[in-house]
Structure 1
Amino acid sequence: MASYHADPGYAEGGMPKESVNFTNASIRAGFIRKVFMLVTIMLTIVAIMSVLPFVHKDIMTYIQHNGWLYGVSYLTFFVVYIVLVCCEEVRRSFPSNLICTAILTLSIGYLTMMICSRHNIVSVAICFVITAVCCGTIVIFAMQTKYDLTSMIGYVFIFAMVLLIFGLVAIMSMIFFKIKFLYLIYAGLAALLFMFYLAIDVQMIMGGRELEISPEDHILAAIQVFIDIIYIFWMLLYLFLDN
Protein backbone atom coordinates (compact mmCIF):
# COMPACT_ATOMS: atom_id res chain seq x y z
CA MET A 1 0.00 0.00 0.00
CA ALA A 2 1.40 3.40 -0.98
CA SER A 3 2.33 5.76 1.81
CA TYR A 4 1.10 9.37 1.68
CA HIS A 5 4.34 10.51 3.33
CA ALA A 6 6.37 9.15 0.43
CA ASP A 7 4.30 10.94 -2.20
CA PRO A 8 5.55 14.46 -2.94
CA GLY A 9 1.98 15.40 -3.74
CA TYR A 10 0.95 14.88 -0.16
CA ALA A 11 1.78 16.75 3.02
CA GLU A 12 2.33 15.30 6.46
CA GLY A 13 -0.82 13.65 7.77
CA GLY A 14 -1.97 12.38 4.38
CA MET A 15 -3.56 15.62 3.11
CA PRO A 16 -2.75 16.80 -0.42
CA LYS A 17 -0.43 19.82 -0.36
CA GLU A 18 -2.95 21.86 -2.30
CA SER A 19 -5.53 21.13 0.41
CA VAL A 20 -3.11 22.11 3.17
CA ASN A 21 -2.28 25.38 1.43
CA PHE A 22 -5.96 26.06 0.83
CA THR A 23 -6.77 25.33 4.47
CA ASN A 24 -4.02 27.64 5.75
CA ALA A 25 -5.13 30.41 3.38
CA SER A 26 -8.75 29.97 4.50
CA ILE A 27 -7.78 30.15 8.17
CA ARG A 28 -5.73 33.31 7.58
CA ALA A 29 -8.55 34.90 5.55
CA GLY A 30 -11.07 34.17 8.30
CA PHE A 31 -8.65 35.55 10.88
CA ILE A 32 -8.23 38.79 8.88
CA ARG A 33 -11.99 39.24 8.54
CA LYS A 34 -12.50 38.64 12.25
CA VAL A 35 -9.77 41.14 13.20
CA PHE A 36 -10.99 43.98 11.02
CA MET A 37 -14.62 43.39 11.98
CA LEU A 38 -13.67 43.66 15.65
CA VAL A 39 -11.58 46.80 14.98
CA THR A 40 -14.55 48.38 13.18
CA ILE A 41 -16.87 47.70 16.13
CA MET A 42 -14.36 49.11 18.62
CA LEU A 43 -13.76 52.27 16.56
CA THR A 44 -17.51 52.77 16.12
CA ILE A 45 -18.05 52.66 19.89
CA VAL A 46 -15.24 55.17 20.45
CA ALA A 47 -16.61 57.46 17.72
CA ILE A 48 -20.09 57.45 19.27
CA MET A 49 -18.69 58.20 22.73
CA SER A 50 -16.53 61.03 21.32
CA VAL A 51 -19.56 62.76 19.79
CA LEU A 52 -21.60 62.73 23.01
CA PRO A 53 -20.03 65.88 24.60
CA PHE A 54 -20.94 67.91 21.51
CA VAL A 55 -24.60 66.84 21.48
CA HIS A 56 -25.17 66.89 25.25
CA LYS A 57 -23.78 69.93 27.05
CA ASP A 58 -24.32 68.30 30.45
CA ILE A 59 -21.87 65.55 29.48
CA MET A 60 -19.40 68.19 28.31
CA THR A 61 -19.67 70.02 31.63
CA TYR A 62 -19.34 66.85 33.67
CA ILE A 63 -16.22 65.75 31.77
CA GLN A 64 -14.53 69.13 32.05
CA HIS A 65 -15.13 69.29 35.82
CA ASN A 66 -14.03 65.74 36.62
CA GLY A 67 -10.53 65.52 35.22
CA TRP A 68 -9.58 62.81 37.73
CA LEU A 69 -11.57 60.32 35.63
CA TYR A 70 -8.93 60.72 32.90
CA GLY A 71 -6.32 59.15 35.18
CA VAL A 72 -8.71 56.35 36.19
CA SER A 73 -9.56 55.60 32.56
CA TYR A 74 -5.93 55.58 31.47
CA LEU A 75 -4.94 53.29 34.35
CA THR A 76 -7.81 50.93 33.47
CA PHE A 77 -6.76 50.89 29.82
CA PHE A 78 -3.10 50.25 30.71
CA VAL A 79 -3.82 47.40 33.16
CA VAL A 80 -6.26 45.61 30.84
CA TYR A 81 -3.89 46.03 27.89
CA ILE A 82 -1.00 44.48 29.86
CA VAL A 83 -3.24 41.59 30.93
CA LEU A 84 -4.30 40.87 27.34
CA VAL A 85 -0.75 41.11 25.98
CA CYS A 86 0.94 39.08 28.72
CA CYS A 87 -1.72 36.50 29.59
CA GLU A 88 -2.33 34.15 26.69
CA GLU A 89 -5.00 32.25 28.63
CA VAL A 90 -7.06 35.42 29.07
CA ARG A 91 -6.94 36.69 25.48
CA ARG A 92 -7.66 33.26 24.00
CA SER A 93 -10.43 32.23 26.40
CA PHE A 94 -14.11 33.09 25.95
CA PRO A 95 -15.72 35.14 27.48
CA SER A 96 -12.79 36.68 29.39
CA ASN A 97 -11.21 37.94 26.16
CA LEU A 98 -14.38 39.75 25.08
CA ILE A 99 -14.97 41.18 28.55
CA CYS A 100 -11.42 42.57 28.72
CA THR A 101 -11.72 43.90 25.17
CA ALA A 102 -14.99 45.64 26.06
CA ILE A 103 -13.45 47.24 29.17
CA LEU A 104 -10.42 48.38 27.15
CA THR A 105 -12.65 49.83 24.43
CA LEU A 106 -14.84 51.75 26.90
CA SER A 107 -11.83 53.13 28.79
CA ILE A 108 -10.22 54.35 25.56
CA GLY A 109 -13.59 55.69 24.47
CA TYR A 110 -13.80 57.77 27.63
CA LEU A 111 -10.22 59.00 27.20
CA THR A 112 -10.99 60.01 23.62
CA MET A 113 -14.21 61.70 24.72
CA MET A 114 -12.30 63.77 27.28
CA ILE A 115 -9.60 64.76 24.79
CA CYS A 116 -12.20 65.72 22.18
CA SER A 117 -14.07 67.85 24.75
CA ARG A 118 -11.02 70.18 24.91
CA HIS A 119 -11.38 71.00 21.20
CA ASN A 120 -14.06 72.47 18.99
CA ILE A 121 -16.08 70.26 16.69
CA VAL A 122 -14.27 71.52 13.58
CA SER A 123 -10.83 70.44 14.89
CA VAL A 124 -12.20 67.02 15.86
CA ALA A 125 -13.83 66.56 12.45
CA ILE A 126 -10.63 67.56 10.61
CA CYS A 127 -8.53 65.15 12.67
CA PHE A 128 -11.09 62.40 12.10
CA VAL A 129 -10.93 62.85 8.33
CA ILE A 130 -7.11 63.01 8.31
CA THR A 131 -6.91 59.87 10.47
CA ALA A 132 -9.37 57.97 8.28
CA VAL A 133 -7.57 58.89 5.05
CA CYS A 134 -4.09 58.17 6.44
CA CYS A 135 -5.05 54.86 8.06
CA GLY A 136 -6.98 53.68 5.00
CA THR A 137 -4.00 54.48 2.76
CA ILE A 138 -1.56 52.77 5.12
CA VAL A 139 -3.68 49.60 5.35
CA ILE A 140 -3.96 49.35 1.55
CA PHE A 141 -0.23 50.01 1.11
CA ALA A 142 0.76 47.43 3.75
CA MET A 143 -1.46 44.82 2.10
CA GLN A 144 -0.21 45.46 -1.43
CA THR A 145 3.52 46.15 -1.04
CA LYS A 146 6.00 43.30 -1.44
CA TYR A 147 8.42 44.98 0.99
CA ASP A 148 8.54 43.27 4.38
CA LEU A 149 7.96 46.07 6.86
CA THR A 150 8.01 43.66 9.81
CA SER A 151 11.77 43.31 9.33
CA MET A 152 12.12 46.97 10.37
CA ILE A 153 10.42 46.58 13.74
CA GLY A 154 13.76 46.82 15.58
CA TYR A 155 14.54 50.21 14.03
CA VAL A 156 11.01 51.43 14.76
CA PHE A 157 11.40 50.37 18.40
CA ILE A 158 14.65 52.33 18.72
CA PHE A 159 12.94 55.38 17.23
CA ALA A 160 10.09 54.92 19.70
CA MET A 161 12.48 54.94 22.67
CA VAL A 162 14.22 58.09 21.43
CA LEU A 163 10.85 59.73 20.85
CA LEU A 164 9.75 58.76 24.36
CA ILE A 165 12.67 60.67 25.87
CA PHE A 166 12.03 63.62 23.59
CA GLY A 167 8.37 63.54 24.59
CA LEU A 168 9.22 63.75 28.29
CA VAL A 169 11.44 66.77 27.60
CA ALA A 170 8.70 68.37 25.50
CA ILE A 171 6.07 67.85 28.21
CA MET A 172 8.30 69.32 30.92
CA SER A 173 9.17 72.28 28.67
CA MET A 174 5.48 72.96 28.10
CA ILE A 175 4.55 72.67 31.79
CA PHE A 176 7.42 74.58 33.36
CA PHE A 177 8.57 76.95 30.61
CA LYS A 178 5.39 77.28 28.50
CA ILE A 179 7.34 76.21 25.40
CA LYS A 180 4.72 74.56 23.23
CA PHE A 181 6.44 74.06 19.87
CA LEU A 182 8.51 71.13 21.18
CA TYR A 183 5.32 69.31 22.15
CA LEU A 184 3.83 70.00 18.71
CA ILE A 185 6.93 68.45 17.12
CA TYR A 186 6.59 65.46 19.45
CA ALA A 187 2.90 65.00 18.57
CA GLY A 188 3.65 65.09 14.85
CA LEU A 189 6.50 62.59 15.14
CA ALA A 190 4.41 60.34 17.39
CA ALA A 191 1.62 60.31 14.79
CA LEU A 192 4.15 59.22 12.15
CA LEU A 193 5.52 56.56 14.51
CA PHE A 194 2.11 54.98 15.02
CA MET A 195 1.51 55.08 11.27
CA PHE A 196 4.62 52.91 10.90
CA TYR A 197 3.36 50.62 13.65
CA LEU A 198 -0.01 50.36 11.91
CA ALA A 199 1.65 49.27 8.65
CA ILE A 200 3.76 46.70 10.49
CA ASP A 201 0.79 45.34 12.46
CA VAL A 202 -1.29 45.01 9.28
CA GLN A 203 1.45 42.95 7.63
CA MET A 204 1.76 40.78 10.73
CA ILE A 205 -1.97 40.13 10.49
CA MET A 206 -1.80 39.34 6.77
CA GLY A 207 0.93 36.74 7.38
CA GLY A 208 3.64 35.48 5.08
CA ARG A 209 6.26 37.92 6.42
CA GLU A 210 9.25 37.61 8.73
CA LEU A 211 6.92 38.22 11.68
CA GLU A 212 3.26 37.27 11.81
CA ILE A 213 0.48 36.97 14.38
CA SER A 214 -1.05 33.57 15.08
CA PRO A 215 -4.66 33.15 13.85
CA GLU A 216 -5.54 32.21 17.43
CA ASP A 217 -4.67 35.74 18.60
CA HIS A 218 -7.41 37.71 16.84
CA ILE A 219 -8.08 39.69 20.00
CA LEU A 220 -4.44 40.77 20.31
CA ALA A 221 -4.26 41.64 16.61
CA ALA A 222 -7.45 43.73 16.76
CA ILE A 223 -6.27 45.59 19.86
CA GLN A 224 -2.92 46.43 18.28
CA VAL A 225 -4.52 47.90 15.14
CA PHE A 226 -7.18 49.67 17.23
CA ILE A 227 -4.60 51.31 19.51
CA ASP A 228 -2.44 52.35 16.55
CA ILE A 229 -5.39 54.19 14.98
CA ILE A 230 -6.49 55.75 18.27
CA TYR A 231 -3.01 57.08 19.03
CA ILE A 232 -2.74 58.56 15.53
CA PHE A 233 -6.03 60.38 16.17
CA TRP A 234 -4.91 61.56 19.61
CA MET A 235 -1.58 62.89 18.36
CA LEU A 236 -3.27 64.77 15.53
CA LEU A 237 -5.73 66.28 18.01
CA TYR A 238 -2.83 67.54 20.13
CA LEU A 239 -1.66 69.54 17.12
CA PHE A 240 -4.95 71.49 17.42
CA LEU A 241 -4.62 71.98 21.16
CA ASP A 242 -5.35 75.71 21.17
CA ASN A 243 -8.11 75.62 18.59
Structure 2
Amino acid sequence: MTQKKVTPVQIVEGNIPPSYEEANAGCPGYYGGGTFSWDDIHIRQIFIRKVYSILMIQLCTTLAVIVLFTFYAPMRIYIQSHPVLYSMSNLLFLVTYILLACCGDLRRQFPWNLILLTIFTLSMACMLGFISSFYNTKSVVLCIGITALVCLCVTIFSFQSKIDITSFQGLLFILCMVMFFCALVMGLVVPFGYVPWLHAVYASIGAVVFTMFLAFDTQLLMGNKQYTISPEEYVFATLSLYLDIVYLFTFLLDIFGYGRE
Protein backbone atom coordinates (compact mmCIF):
# COMPACT_ATOMS: atom_id res chain seq x y z
CA MET A 1 0.00 0.00 0.00
CA THR A 2 1.53 3.30 -1.07
CA GLN A 3 1.08 6.66 0.58
CA LYS A 4 -0.19 9.58 -1.43
CA LYS A 5 2.46 12.23 -1.74
CA VAL A 6 1.28 15.71 -0.79
CA THR A 7 2.55 18.33 -3.20
CA PRO A 8 4.03 21.30 -1.32
CA VAL A 9 2.34 24.65 -1.74
CA GLN A 10 4.05 26.86 -4.29
CA ILE A 11 4.23 30.59 -3.60
CA VAL A 12 3.93 32.28 -6.96
CA GLU A 13 4.07 35.97 -6.27
CA GLY A 14 6.29 37.48 -3.60
CA ASN A 15 5.41 36.46 -0.06
CA ILE A 16 1.73 35.63 -0.63
CA PRO A 17 0.67 33.19 2.12
CA PRO A 18 -1.21 30.01 1.21
CA SER A 19 -4.97 29.90 1.51
CA TYR A 20 -6.72 28.19 4.41
CA GLU A 21 -7.56 25.18 2.24
CA GLU A 22 -3.99 24.87 0.92
CA ALA A 23 -2.43 25.19 4.37
CA ASN A 24 -4.68 22.47 5.85
CA ALA A 25 -4.60 20.08 2.89
CA GLY A 26 -3.58 16.66 4.12
CA CYS A 27 -4.24 17.41 7.81
CA PRO A 28 -6.17 14.75 9.76
CA GLY A 29 -9.89 15.39 9.94
CA TYR A 30 -9.86 18.12 7.29
CA TYR A 31 -11.81 18.14 4.09
CA GLY A 32 -12.48 20.81 1.49
CA GLY A 33 -14.63 23.82 2.32
CA GLY A 34 -12.77 24.99 5.43
CA THR A 35 -14.47 22.61 7.85
CA PHE A 36 -13.47 19.54 9.78
CA SER A 37 -14.60 15.98 9.42
CA TRP A 38 -16.17 14.12 12.31
CA ASP A 39 -14.47 10.95 11.06
CA ASP A 40 -11.44 11.85 13.15
CA ILE A 41 -12.39 10.61 16.63
CA HIS A 42 -9.52 12.54 18.21
CA ILE A 43 -10.97 15.89 17.08
CA ARG A 44 -14.40 14.91 18.37
CA GLN A 45 -13.05 13.87 21.79
CA ILE A 46 -11.12 17.11 22.22
CA PHE A 47 -14.21 19.10 21.23
CA ILE A 48 -16.46 17.25 23.69
CA ARG A 49 -13.96 17.64 26.53
CA LYS A 50 -13.63 21.36 25.85
CA VAL A 51 -17.40 21.89 25.79
CA TYR A 52 -18.07 19.98 28.99
CA SER A 53 -15.15 21.62 30.79
CA ILE A 54 -16.55 25.08 30.06
CA LEU A 55 -20.07 23.88 30.89
CA MET A 56 -18.98 22.57 34.30
CA ILE A 57 -17.41 25.93 35.13
CA GLN A 58 -20.63 27.68 34.11
CA LEU A 59 -22.81 25.38 36.19
CA CYS A 60 -20.56 25.61 39.26
CA THR A 61 -20.57 29.41 39.03
CA THR A 62 -24.35 29.47 38.66
CA LEU A 63 -24.83 27.09 41.57
CA ALA A 64 -22.56 29.20 43.79
CA VAL A 65 -24.56 32.36 43.02
CA ILE A 66 -27.88 30.60 43.63
CA VAL A 67 -26.66 29.25 46.97
CA LEU A 68 -25.36 32.69 47.98
CA PHE A 69 -28.59 34.49 47.07
CA THR A 70 -30.83 31.81 48.58
CA PHE A 71 -29.11 30.80 51.83
CA TYR A 72 -27.29 33.99 52.86
CA ALA A 73 -29.98 36.18 54.40
CA PRO A 74 -28.25 39.62 54.09
CA MET A 75 -27.59 39.05 50.39
CA ARG A 76 -31.12 37.76 49.84
CA ILE A 77 -32.65 40.82 51.49
CA TYR A 78 -30.37 43.17 49.55
CA ILE A 79 -31.15 41.83 46.09
CA GLN A 80 -34.88 41.61 46.82
CA SER A 81 -34.88 45.26 47.86
CA HIS A 82 -32.92 46.29 44.72
CA PRO A 83 -34.80 44.82 41.73
CA VAL A 84 -32.82 47.12 39.43
CA LEU A 85 -29.98 44.60 39.72
CA TYR A 86 -32.24 41.99 38.15
CA SER A 87 -33.10 44.37 35.32
CA MET A 88 -29.42 45.07 34.68
CA SER A 89 -28.63 41.35 34.66
CA ASN A 90 -31.50 40.76 32.24
CA LEU A 91 -30.16 43.45 29.90
CA LEU A 92 -26.63 42.02 29.97
CA PHE A 93 -28.06 38.57 29.33
CA LEU A 94 -29.98 39.73 26.25
CA VAL A 95 -27.06 41.69 24.78
CA THR A 96 -24.47 38.94 25.24
CA TYR A 97 -26.89 36.25 24.05
CA ILE A 98 -27.64 38.15 20.84
CA LEU A 99 -23.92 38.69 20.21
CA LEU A 100 -23.03 35.05 20.83
CA ALA A 101 -25.98 33.58 18.96
CA CYS A 102 -26.04 35.87 15.93
CA CYS A 103 -22.42 36.95 15.38
CA GLY A 104 -20.64 33.81 14.20
CA ASP A 105 -17.26 35.48 13.64
CA LEU A 106 -17.29 37.08 17.09
CA ARG A 107 -18.39 33.78 18.65
CA ARG A 108 -15.33 32.05 17.20
CA GLN A 109 -12.84 34.83 17.95
CA PHE A 110 -10.66 34.27 21.02
CA PRO A 111 -10.65 35.77 23.65
CA TRP A 112 -13.81 37.81 22.96
CA ASN A 113 -15.95 34.70 22.78
CA LEU A 114 -14.91 33.60 26.27
CA ILE A 115 -15.27 37.14 27.65
CA LEU A 116 -18.83 37.38 26.34
CA LEU A 117 -19.58 33.88 27.57
CA THR A 118 -18.34 34.84 31.06
CA ILE A 119 -20.54 37.96 31.16
CA PHE A 120 -23.46 35.91 29.87
CA THR A 121 -22.97 33.25 32.56
CA LEU A 122 -22.67 35.76 35.40
CA SER A 123 -25.76 37.66 34.29
CA MET A 124 -27.80 34.47 33.99
CA ALA A 125 -26.52 33.28 37.38
CA CYS A 126 -27.62 36.55 38.99
CA MET A 127 -31.05 36.27 37.38
CA LEU A 128 -31.49 32.72 38.64
CA GLY A 129 -30.23 33.71 42.09
CA PHE A 130 -32.74 36.56 42.24
CA ILE A 131 -35.62 34.27 41.22
CA SER A 132 -34.55 31.48 43.59
CA SER A 133 -34.36 33.88 46.53
CA PHE A 134 -38.18 34.11 46.57
CA TYR A 135 -38.55 30.33 46.93
CA ASN A 136 -38.16 28.14 49.98
CA THR A 137 -34.60 26.82 50.32
CA LYS A 138 -35.79 23.19 50.48
CA SER A 139 -37.65 23.50 47.19
CA VAL A 140 -34.61 25.12 45.55
CA VAL A 141 -32.37 22.28 46.69
CA LEU A 142 -34.97 19.74 45.51
CA CYS A 143 -35.13 21.32 42.04
CA ILE A 144 -31.35 21.46 41.79
CA GLY A 145 -31.18 17.76 42.63
CA ILE A 146 -33.90 16.84 40.13
CA THR A 147 -32.21 18.92 37.42
CA ALA A 148 -28.85 17.24 38.05
CA LEU A 149 -30.44 13.77 37.95
CA VAL A 150 -32.38 14.50 34.75
CA CYS A 151 -29.29 15.94 33.05
CA LEU A 152 -27.22 12.89 34.01
CA CYS A 153 -29.83 10.45 32.71
CA VAL A 154 -30.39 12.40 29.47
CA THR A 155 -26.65 12.66 28.82
CA ILE A 156 -26.10 8.93 29.34
CA PHE A 157 -29.11 8.14 27.15
CA SER A 158 -27.93 10.48 24.39
CA PHE A 159 -24.45 8.97 24.33
CA GLN A 160 -25.58 5.33 24.50
CA SER A 161 -28.85 5.29 22.55
CA LYS A 162 -29.05 4.48 18.85
CA ILE A 163 -32.15 6.71 18.56
CA ASP A 164 -31.36 9.80 16.52
CA ILE A 165 -32.92 12.69 18.46
CA THR A 166 -31.56 15.19 15.91
CA SER A 167 -34.12 13.88 13.40
CA PHE A 168 -37.03 14.83 15.70
CA GLN A 169 -37.04 18.49 14.70
CA GLY A 170 -40.71 18.39 13.70
CA LEU A 171 -41.74 17.10 17.13
CA LEU A 172 -39.67 19.77 18.88
CA PHE A 173 -41.27 22.45 16.71
CA ILE A 174 -44.77 21.20 17.59
CA LEU A 175 -43.97 21.21 21.31
CA CYS A 176 -42.57 24.73 21.04
CA MET A 177 -45.78 25.86 19.36
CA VAL A 178 -47.81 24.26 22.17
CA MET A 179 -45.71 26.19 24.68
CA PHE A 180 -46.22 29.39 22.70
CA PHE A 181 -50.01 29.07 22.63
CA CYS A 182 -50.07 28.12 26.33
CA ALA A 183 -48.13 31.30 27.06
CA LEU A 184 -50.64 33.34 25.04
CA VAL A 185 -53.55 31.80 26.94
CA MET A 186 -51.81 32.50 30.26
CA GLY A 187 -51.20 36.09 29.20
CA LEU A 188 -54.92 36.52 28.54
CA VAL A 189 -56.18 34.66 31.63
CA VAL A 190 -53.76 35.74 34.37
CA PRO A 191 -54.99 39.39 34.52
CA PHE A 192 -58.42 38.03 35.52
CA GLY A 193 -57.00 35.72 38.19
CA TYR A 194 -54.26 33.20 38.83
CA VAL A 195 -54.99 29.74 37.42
CA PRO A 196 -52.71 27.22 39.19
CA TRP A 197 -53.46 24.23 36.94
CA LEU A 198 -52.77 26.22 33.76
CA HIS A 199 -49.46 27.42 35.16
CA ALA A 200 -48.57 23.83 36.14
CA VAL A 201 -49.43 22.55 32.65
CA TYR A 202 -47.25 25.22 31.03
CA ALA A 203 -44.32 24.45 33.36
CA SER A 204 -44.67 20.71 32.78
CA ILE A 205 -44.64 21.13 28.99
CA GLY A 206 -41.63 23.41 29.30
CA ALA A 207 -39.73 20.86 31.38
CA VAL A 208 -40.43 18.14 28.81
CA VAL A 209 -39.46 20.38 25.88
CA PHE A 210 -36.12 21.41 27.33
CA THR A 211 -35.34 17.87 28.41
CA MET A 212 -35.72 16.90 24.76
CA PHE A 213 -33.66 19.90 23.67
CA LEU A 214 -30.93 18.77 26.05
CA ALA A 215 -30.87 15.35 24.37
CA PHE A 216 -31.00 17.04 20.93
CA ASP A 217 -28.06 19.35 21.65
CA THR A 218 -26.07 16.55 23.27
CA GLN A 219 -26.33 14.43 20.14
CA LEU A 220 -25.40 17.43 18.00
CA LEU A 221 -22.29 17.62 20.15
CA MET A 222 -21.51 13.93 19.62
CA GLY A 223 -21.52 14.34 15.88
CA ASN A 224 -22.40 10.80 14.80
CA LYS A 225 -26.09 11.40 14.03
CA GLN A 226 -28.00 12.94 11.14
CA TYR A 227 -27.08 16.50 12.15
CA THR A 228 -23.87 17.62 13.82
CA ILE A 229 -22.24 20.80 15.06
CA SER A 230 -18.86 21.98 13.85
CA PRO A 231 -15.88 21.48 16.21
CA GLU A 232 -15.14 25.19 15.81
CA GLU A 233 -18.46 26.05 17.48
CA TYR A 234 -17.54 25.00 21.02
CA VAL A 235 -18.90 28.27 22.46
CA PHE A 236 -22.25 27.83 20.71
CA ALA A 237 -22.45 24.19 21.85
CA THR A 238 -21.70 25.20 25.44
CA LEU A 239 -24.25 28.01 25.26
CA SER A 240 -26.96 25.63 24.00
CA LEU A 241 -26.40 23.00 26.70
CA TYR A 242 -26.19 25.62 29.44
CA LEU A 243 -29.48 27.25 28.43
CA ASP A 244 -31.20 23.85 28.22
CA ILE A 245 -30.17 23.07 31.81
CA VAL A 246 -31.07 26.54 33.09
CA TYR A 247 -34.54 26.54 31.54
CA LEU A 248 -35.15 23.01 32.80
CA PHE A 249 -34.31 24.18 36.32
CA THR A 250 -36.64 27.19 36.11
CA PHE A 251 -39.58 25.10 34.90
CA LEU A 252 -38.97 22.53 37.64
CA LEU A 253 -38.90 25.39 40.12
CA ASP A 254 -42.30 26.48 38.84
CA ILE A 255 -43.64 22.95 39.34
CA PHE A 256 -42.12 21.92 42.67
CA GLY A 257 -41.11 25.23 44.22
CA TYR A 258 -43.13 27.14 46.76
CA GLY A 259 -42.62 30.60 48.17
CA ARG A 260 -41.09 31.58 51.47
CA GLU A 261 -43.43 31.93 54.41
SS of the residue 2:203 aligns to: helix
Judge conservation of contact 2:100–2:107 (CA < 8 Å) in 1. yes
TM-score (structure 1 length as normaliser):
0.88
Paired amino acid for 1:4? K
Query: Whole-Å Cα distance in 1 between the matches of residues 130 and 202 of structure 2?
Result: 21
The corresponding residue for 1:203 is 219
The 1:212–1:181 alpha-carbon spacing in structure 2 relative to 1, beyond 3 Å, is: same
Query: Counterparts of 1:42-191 in structure 2 under 5 Å?
Result: 42-191=58-207
Query: Which segment is superposed worse, 98-107 or 60-69?
Result: 60-69
2:108–2:232 contact (8 Å) kept in structure 1: yes
Larger radius of gyration: 2
Kindly indicate whether the alpha-carbon contact (under 8 Å) linking 1:92 and 1:219 is maintained by their aligned counterparts in 2.
Answer: yes
Moved more, 61-70 or 191-200: 61-70
What RMSD in Å do the two structures reach over aligned CA positions? Answer: 2.4
Q: Is the 8 A contact 1:174 1:183 kept in 2?
A: no
When the two structures are superposed, what TM-score results if normalisation uses the length of structure 2? 0.83
1:238 has 2:254 as partner = yes
Between 58-67 and 224-233, the greater mean CA deviation after superposition? 58-67
Give yes or no for contact 1:77–1:107 (8 Å, CA) kept in 2. Answer: yes
| Number of aligned residues | 234
Q: Structure 1 unaligned segments of length 5 or more: list them.
A: 6-12
Contact 1:49-1:109 at 8 Å conserved across structures? yes
Structure 2 SS opposite 1:118: coil
Other structure's SS at 1:178 match: coil
Partner Cα separation in structure 2 for residue 48 and residue 83 of structure 1: 25
Q: CA deviation at 1:92?
A: 0.5
CA contact (8 A) 2:155 2:218 kept: yes
- Distance (whole Å) between structure 2 residues aligned to residue 221 and residue 153 of structure 1: 17
Per the TM alignment, residue 44 of structure 1 is displaced from its structure 2 partner at its CA by 0.2
| In structure 2, distance between residues paired with 1:4 and 1:54 | 63
Secondary structure (helix, strand or coil) at the match of 2:64 reads helix
Equivalent pair of 1:32/1:205 in contact (CA under 8 Å): yes
- Report the secondary structure of 2:207's partner residue: helix
Post-superposition Cα deviations, 1:36-88, rounded to whole Å, max 9, x if no partner, equal 11110000000000011234212111121222332332232122112111111
Task: Report the alpha carbon displacement of residue 171 of structure 1 after superposing the two structures with TM.
Answer: 4.2
Between Structure 1 and Structure 2, the one with more helix by share is 1
Residue type matched to 1:94 in 2?
F
Contact 1:167 1:183 in 2 (8 A): no
Could you tell me how far apart the structure 1 residues matched to 2:131 and 2:146 are?
17
2:19 is aligned to none
Whole-angstrom distance in 1 between the partners of 2:134 and 2:188: 20
Distance, in Å, in 2 between the alignment partners of 1:91 and 1:46 is 21
Establish whether residue 4 from structure 1 lines up as the match of residue 20 from structure 2: no
Question: Secondary structure at 1:239's aligned position in 2?
Answer: helix
Partner of 1:31: 47
Secondary structure (helix, strand or coil) at the match of 2:114 reads helix
3-state SS, counterpart of residue 4 of structure 1: coil
Q: CA deviation at 1:167?
A: 1.8
Overall identity of the aligned pairs, in %: 37
